[in-house]
Structure 1
Amino acid sequence: MVQEHPFAQYIRIIGKGPRLSRPLSREEARAATTMILKKEVDPVQLGAFLCILRVRSEDPSEGAGFIDAVRANLNLPDQLPKVDIDWPTYAGKARQLPYYVLAVLAMAQSGIKIFMHGAAGHTEGRLYTEETLAHLGIAQARSLQEASEQLGTHNFTYLPLKEISPPLQEIIDLKATLGVRTPVNTFARMINAFDAPNIMQCITHAAYREIHRDCADLLGQKRMCVFKGEGGEIERRAAKPVTVQYLVEGEKSDEEWPAFLNSEHAAHDEKMDLPRLKKIWAGEDTHPYALSAITGTIAIALRLMGKADNPKAAQQQAQDLWANRNKDNLTNA
């Protein structure tokens, strides 16, 4: 008799059909993810596991167990750096330039410490954060230790997922084989390796808002927000109203942010012209959409951090923060 593979039990739990299957418990998800991270799973099993979760949609307790396992396997520095905001960037941009990058750099100049992490290249035709930072002359970190050091000197760092957890990057890259994204695209956004008190999250599909917030709640996250951003990245679409959903010290709330830009200014960028970003930073390009995307994104971050009492006040603070940036220097170096 052929002995059953230890991972088979987890596929059976989620894959027995609509009436007999159920989501994994947090502990089951942690155990399954640990086996995946240690590469103790057959490739056929991994593909089946990922696709079942993708079709059924992820469960918050599964997300919490996934994060538990990932965090337990991180190569963290001896002393965690001070971080204000954890900022995942995994979607890439296809219709508008990555204006959120300028928003983050302006916040870092103002003294807000931001840990940005992400993945690149998994979807054709998109412009990712790594390419953007390279064009701006900003070096990415190569380890969690180096990321910690960059936060101390520049208030900002970007670390690719492949340096945080190589197995997770390999799974994201399976999109070219499977044809669909995997649950890692959802859960990797929540790693928060440096235990930042604030997490910014963004979704493309509304159904994922509650998954992110409920998972953060299970993980004991102090403050987080999630909203529908431009192209799946954390970037305000100022020509449209947006619902921002919060989790603050265990309390959930929703807030409606009205549009503040005329839709006539929201046309897609005809080409993803990265040199424009330097011109925008220098004040040489003042296109209304670019400025509204930058300040609108900053405003949501400031509101999450409790620095403003309402969206209007947050927007005014964001505009002041942007106006006071050092136009001659993109970093604090």
Structure 2
Amino acid sequence: MTETLKFADLIRALGRGKNGSRSLTREEAQFAMQEIWHQRETQAQLGALLMLMRVKEETAEELAGMAQAVRNELADWAGRPMHIDWPAYAGKRRQPSWYVLAAKALSQNGYPVFMHGGGEHTAGRQYARQACEALGIAVATSWQNAAALSHNHSMVYCPLSSFAPTLSNIIDMKRELGLRSPVNTLVRNLNPTGARVTLQGMFHPSYKTLHHDTAGLLGDARNLVLKGDSGEFEVRPDSTTEVLVHSPHHPERVDIPKRLSQRAVRPNEPNLALLQATWAGESVPEYGVAAIHDTMALALMVADGVSLQEARNKAATLWQQRLITG
């Protein structure tokens, strides 16, 4: 079918008015992303497609088709097998990036992490790249460089611009268009290295089911989706967290009880120095350590196929071991 498709056909399907328009099929969406990836569409066509999808809101079938197209393009990963795919695109507004410490601790204890991010548009936010650079985590300059780094580093951060520049440019179009596009949603489901465990965090709860359903269509058998702090995959330990799960060993929904009895006071801005001090054991912030433990525990729960309590116990042990291994 894709041999006879034209990009204009997709725009027509999306934009034929209230009674005539429809969402794209998964195959059509995959074709659209193939064309976009290779820049075979015009800028007018690209803008039309993105905004029409944005107005009607993207579907899981559309996201799965687009994500599959990107995965096909990046199927040449030559790095070590990565255990966890960790998209980090939101940026932290007040709390430091505790999730980066969780990822680093997991990576140094047998769970290699590929973290990717981009769209660093909001002033005052702390993004994954800043935290990774401050913590000495390897930052890749290209897809090939990311693969090479992974053989000597258990955690690699790769900017979207370094492995999918076309998608990065589309995200940057927010400045011009004034709106997010479906690509902002798509990038959380990319899993470009084919990691065994996939994670998605977002700020708006309505997107949880969308990401969950997309992961199911893509066959991501160990997947976690939650409304995380500032939209990152990070548990807030001062409130109960509802998690949607794909796993051979767990129900489709798991609730993470809060660890802290009172709502934490939010700092005015995220503190990189506190993040570094916490990793070094020079500071033990109650909120931060609780967030780290439970974020690690969730990943361990689906990675190891164990109960939440078993995963929490293991997370606490691995967090302590970082002072030895890191």
TM-score > 0.5 by shorter chain: yes
Which residue of 2 is the match for residue 315 of structure 1?
Answer: 312
Q: Residues 224 and 10 (structure 1 numbering): CA distance in 2 closer, same or farther, change over 3 Å?
A: same
Q: Residues 319 and 66 (structure 1 numbering): CA distance in 2 closer, same or farther, change over 3 Å?
A: same
Alignment gaps of 5+ in structure 2? none
C-alpha distance in 1, partners of 2:82/2:136?
22
Which residue of 2 is the match for residue 123 of structure 1?
Answer: 122
Aligned residues: 322
Give the alignment's TM-score, normalised by structure 2: 0.92
**Amino acid of the residue matched to residue 303 of structure 1?**
M
C-alpha distance in 1, partners of 2:223/2:180?
24
Which residue of 2 is the match for residue 289 of structure 1?
Answer: 287
C-alpha distance in 1, partners of 2:94/2:269?
8
Question: After superposition, what is the alpha-carbon deviation per residue over 1:83-140, rounded to whole angstroms, capped at 9, x for unaligned?
Answer: 1111111111112111111111111111211111111423333211111112223330
Which residue of 2 is the match for residue 61 of structure 1?
Answer: 61
The answer (yes or no) to whether the contact 1:61–1:218 under 8 Å persists in 2 is yes
Identity %: 38
**Amino acid of the residue matched to residue 164 of structure 1?**
F
The answer (yes or no) to whether the contact 2:125–2:270 under 8 Å persists in 1 is no
C-alpha distance in 1, partners of 2:173/2:100?
27
Q: Residues 121 and 203 (structure 1 numbering): CA distance in 2 closer, same or farther, change over 3 Å?
A: closer
The alpha-carbon deviation at position 252 of structure 1 amounts to: 6.3
Q: Residues 252 and 319 (structure 1 numbering): CA distance in 2 closer, same or farther, change over 3 Å?
A: closer
The alpha-carbon deviation at position 313 of structure 1 amounts to: 2.6
Question: After superposition, what is the alpha-carbon deviation per residue over 1:153-184, rounded to whole angstroms, capped at 9, x for unaligned?
Answer: 22111111111111000000011111121111
Matched, 1:275 2:287: no
The alpha-carbon deviation at position 281 of structure 1 amounts to: 1.1
C-alpha distance in 1, partners of 2:95/2:50?
30
Matching of residues 182-261 of structure 1 within 5 Å: 182-249=181-248, 253-261=252-260
C-alpha distance in 2, partners of 1:89/1:275?
20
Which residue of 2 is the match for residue 175 of structure 1?
Answer: 174
Give the alignment's TM-score, normalised by structure 1: 0.91
The answer (yes or no) to whether the contact 1:97–1:269 under 8 Å persists in 2 is no
Q: Residues 38 and 251 (structure 1 numbering): CA distance in 2 closer, same or farther, change over 3 Å?
A: farther
Which residue of 2 is the match for residue 21 of structure 1?
Answer: 21
C-alpha distance in 1, partners of 2:85/2:269?
29
C-alpha distance in 2, partners of 1:51/1:67?
18
Alignment gaps of 5+ in structure 1? none
